[in-house]
Amino acid sequence: DISKIETGQLEAFNQKLLLYDFITKLYEFYKPNFNEKNIDFSLKLNFTDNAMEIITDEGKLNQVISNLLSNALKFTSDGNVELGCILRPGNLTFYVKDSGIGIDKSFHNKIFDRFRQAELEITRQYEGNGLGLAITKGFVELLGGEIWLESELGEGATFYFTIKLNVFKSKDTNPDESDVDEVKVIDEKQYKILVVDDDDESCLYLRELLAKFPEYETVVLTSGLDAIEYVKQHSVFDIVLLDIKMPDVSGYETATKLKVLHPELTLIAQTAYAFYNDKQKALEVGFDDYISKPILPEDLIRMLNKHLQIGL
Ligand code: ADP
């Protein structure tokens, strides 16, 4: 992982995640480890919306929190540990606060370097290779956030990190209260592409293909209904690559609804059989263009460049 992070080969996937469910399950999973050491382990959330779904890389988020909890467990012999998740407009802030041995201020800026162990004399008694926090920091950055700590030697430690908040769906649709939906995304990626296809292999293929180009940020969804719901909340896409044949709501119907929501959105149909009729119908219902499956990399890039006016 560390060499992949350093060579920029690791990428974050965009997946739907039920936040409340995720964090409570993680908490329950770790609880027995803390109980065993007689550490009081608690969870603090500032939201109650258990239906809220966000878009993030679940595996990496899980790994980051797990690394911080493992350290808290390792460096705390009694007392308490708190896992927190704070929903803010624009980001999610997580923290792991422990009452353990703490970390001297002079080590704070080195602690995320690889192979760093705060004080060899003290921590030699604890197992570890000093890579955990370097990997953790790399993952946090892939998730669009930052990591930092507050601690003093002997006073416990609190590790904070943020991730970019991308709400897919929240229960709260009342505009007065839905400040969470006013997501300000700090983004170096220039173009946002939404891929909608019910076929897992096609999704994976397009995701991997687009990930090779740093200017594209790709969100992949597997149904027309999800796409409509998502675009309703995020009008941020430049291009939607929509499969025509989907089981719940067809690509044609999805396209019509998306165009009503955002007439300026560029819609490209993925037509499976390249039948002339499919293409004609696609243009009639409002698609701006079509591309035939199997999609060749050079064709897709040419198509995207054409509509994004890159190189023109
Ligand atoms: P390791 O795999 O050796 O634990 P990490 O990168 O996770 O490596 O941590 C590096 C060092 O940071 C640890 O060896 C320890 O000295 C210090 N450290 C990390 N988390 C804590 C914590 N919660 N309390 C005290 N020290 C910590």
> Strand pairing partners for 290?
269
DSSP string, 10-77: -----EEEEHHHHHHHHHHHHHHHHHHTTEEEEEEES---TT-EEEE-HHHHHHHHHHHHHHHHHT-S
C-alpha pair distances (Å), 7 with each of 3, 12, 18, 194, 210: 6, 14, 31, 27, 18
Tell me which of 63, 105, 111 to substitute to probe ligand 1's pocket, judged by most ligand atoms within 8 Å of the beta carbon: 111
Burial code (b: 16+ CB inside 10 Å, e: under 16) for 68-103 equals bbebbbbbbeeebbbbbbebeeebbbbbbbbbbbbb
Q: Which two tokens stand for residue 3?
A: 């060499």
Pairing outcome for strands 191-196 and 216-221: parallel
Task: Assign residue 103 a region (left: φ > 0; alpha: ψ between -120 and 50; beta: otherwise).
Answer: beta
Tell me which of 123, 124, 127 to substitute to probe ligand 1's pocket, judged by most ligand atoms within 8 Å of the beta carbon: 123
Closest by CA to 240, choosing from 226, 219, 260, is: 219
Q: Rounded CA gap, 283 and 3, in Å?
A: 46
Q: Rounded CA gap, 162 and 89, in Å?
A: 12
Backbone phi and psi for residue 29, each to the nearest 5 degrees, phi listed first: -65, -40
Closest by CA to 270, choosing from 289, 291, 300, 250, is: 291
Distance 296 CA to ligand 1 centre (A): 46
Ligand 1, atom 17, residue with closest C-alpha: 118
Q: Which two tokens stand for residue 178?
A: 């839905």
96 lines ligand 1 (CB under 6 A): no
Q: Rounded CA gap, 239 and 248, in Å?
A: 21
Q: Rounded CA gap, 308 and 310, in Å?
A: 5
71 lines ligand 1 (CB under 6 A): yes
By the 10 Å C-beta count (0-12 exposed, 13-18 middle, 19+ buried), 308 is classed as: middle
Q: Do 296 and 302 form a contact (C-beta atoms < 8 A)? A: no
Q: Do 92 and 107 form a contact (C-beta atoms < 8 A)? A: no
Using only the alpha carbons of the chain, give its radius of gyration: 23
Q: Do 47 and 179 form a contact (C-beta atoms < 8 A)? A: no
Task: Provide the residue type at 69 as one letter.
Answer: L
**Predicted confidence pLDDT, tens digits, the chain (312 residues):** 888 888 888 888 888 899 999 999 999 999 999 999 999 999 999 888 888 999 999 999 999 999 999 999 999 998 999 999 998 878 899 999 999 999 999 989 888 987 655 554 555 555 566 788 999 999 999 999 999 999 999 999 999 999 999 888 877 543 333 333 333 333 345 788 999 999 989 999 998 888 877 778 889 999 999 999 999 887 678 999 999 988 888 899 999 999 999 988 999 999 876 567 778 888 899 999 999 888 988 889 889 888 887 644
The answer to whether the pTM exceeds 0.75 is no
Q: Rounded CA gap, 148 and 161, in Å?
A: 6
Atom of ligand 1 nearest to the CA of 67: 7
